[in-house]
Amino acid sequence: MIEEYLKTEKFFVDGELEKYFIRISKIEKDILLKDFITQLEEFILNEKAKRIHPVLMNAAFSGIVNPMYLEDQIEQIREVSIAVELLHSGHLIHDDLLDDDLIRRDKPTFHVQLKNELNQTYKDTNAPIKEELVNLYGRDMSILGGMQGYLLGLDILKSAKFPEQTKLLAINEYTQAMDFLMKGQLIEEYMNYNNIIMTLEQYLNIAEYQRARLFEKSAKIGAILAKGNIHYQIKPLSDALLSIGQAHAIRDDIIDLTDDIKAKNRSKIIYILAVNNTDEEQSKILNEVYRKETLTNNDVKSVKDIFTQTNALMIAEHLAKNLVEQAKNNLKDIYPDLNREQKIFFNEFSDFVYEREF
């Protein structure tokens, strides 16, 4: 059921995003801003996007609202749900820029997309500073594009057709999500540039800020707009999504293990767990490999062997599984219970996060 549910809800979210960009493009009069909106649209309307955050908002709303009123309000909540997708997209733009990533969902990242566009403009120009200008353009416009994503999402919430007091509560959660995302990036970049080796506690803290909190806030906003009970419905649902979000981050590290080794990324949980359990020889090998400019297949195999020998991979798997079980226990505490379809969804989504291979 879970994959069909996600596919169906993604279809509706994609439709809302398309309608939204058509609408704001018509409203905007400045030709340059229209062009920038088109660039954002191209990046965000990627068919590979999973749309997990708006799906979580919709599921939380549909799970708590009185079923008698759901049919009348489902289109309304779907319109609003794209707010968290725009927030997520803004974060991805900044994250890709900071990491200097080239590809996102099989297409150029936003800063690369913009650089490619300006390269076309300058294709017949031989200016000596052309490359520098192109790089600065990609960087500067991506900083602005990420912030624009945050603000567009906020504007959607402000314009929603829900009671004002309820909207204020939802907006508060949205701005908290922005704050968490920025703090997570600040901490991670500070550690990277100061060459600080990340501890497990710091890893989980960053995973909470940059992944789990947006899961939690997406569901919480949906539950708030459905007028759920703060103590008996919203809190246990929020706690469940925090655990699921951290499990999702760990699972991503497991799935991306080979790529992360090749990138010599020391801020992933399997590396962190391994370095805490290596003997002298294993520690020496890891240090030598991670200092190399490029890695061979044998280097990657050596690191994977150490990850296995130190039980780092197994511990990461167990940690993700425990977080999922914790989430399921939180879901059991929701009272009055979620509507049947959404109760099944959130339980299956918990397992999906742990078992997925992509």
For residue 209, the model assigns a pLDDT of 98
For residue 123, the model assigns a pLDDT of 82
Residue 285 is assigned to a structural domain of this protein: no
For residue 130, the model assigns a pLDDT of 84
Residue 238 is assigned to a structural domain of this protein: no
Residue 327 is assigned to a structural domain of this protein: no
For residue 43, the model assigns a pLDDT of 98
**194-197 contacts, C-beta under 8 A, 24 or more apart:** 197/266, 197/275
User: 275-325 pLDDT, tens per residue?
Assistant: 999 999 999 999 999 999 999 999 999 999 999 999 999 999 999 999 999
Residue 122, pLDDT > 90, answer no
Mean pLDDT of the chain: 95
For residue 197, the model assigns a pLDDT of 86
pLDDT band at 148 (very low <50, low <70, confident <90, very high): very high
Residue 126, pLDDT > 90, answer no
Are the C-beta atoms of 28 and 34 separated by less than 8 Å?
A: yes
Per residue in 240-267, is it b (16+ CB within 10 Å) or e — as a string?
Answer: bbbbbbbbbbbbbbbeebeebbeebbbb
User: 151-176 pLDDT, tens per residue?
Assistant: 999 999 999 999 999 999 999 999 99
Residue 118 is assigned to a structural domain of this protein: yes
Whole-number Å distance between alpha carbons of 238 and 236:
5
Residue 349 is assigned to a structural domain of this protein: no
Domain that holds residue 66: 1-164
- Proportion of the chain above pLDDT 90, given as a percent: 94
Using DSSP, state whether 109 is helix, strand or coil.
coil
Side-chain half-sphere CA neighbours of 252 within 13 A? 12
Q: CATH number for the domain including 150?
A: 1.10.600.10
User: 241-285 pLDDT, tens per residue?
Assistant: 999 999 999 999 999 999 999 999 999 999 999 999 999 999 999
For residue 257, the model assigns a pLDDT of 96
Whole-number Å distance between alpha carbons of 239 and 43:
31
Are the C-beta atoms of 83 and 153 separated by less than 8 Å?
A: yes
Nearest Cα residue to 310 out of 331, 282, 291? 282
Model's pTM, two decimal places?
0.95
User: 6-58 pLDDT, tens per residue?
Assistant: 999 999 999 999 999 999 999 999 999 999 999 999 999 999 999 999 999 99
299 Cβ partners below 8 Å, 6+ apart? 289, 292
Least confident segment among 15-24, 119-128, 205-214? 119-128
For residue 121, the model assigns a pLDDT of 87
Structure tokens, 180 = 């968490």
Whole-number Å distance between alpha carbons of 329 and 342:
16
- Proportion of the chain above pLDDT 70, given as a percent: 100
Residue 29 is assigned to a structural domain of this protein: yes
The count of domains in the chain is: 1
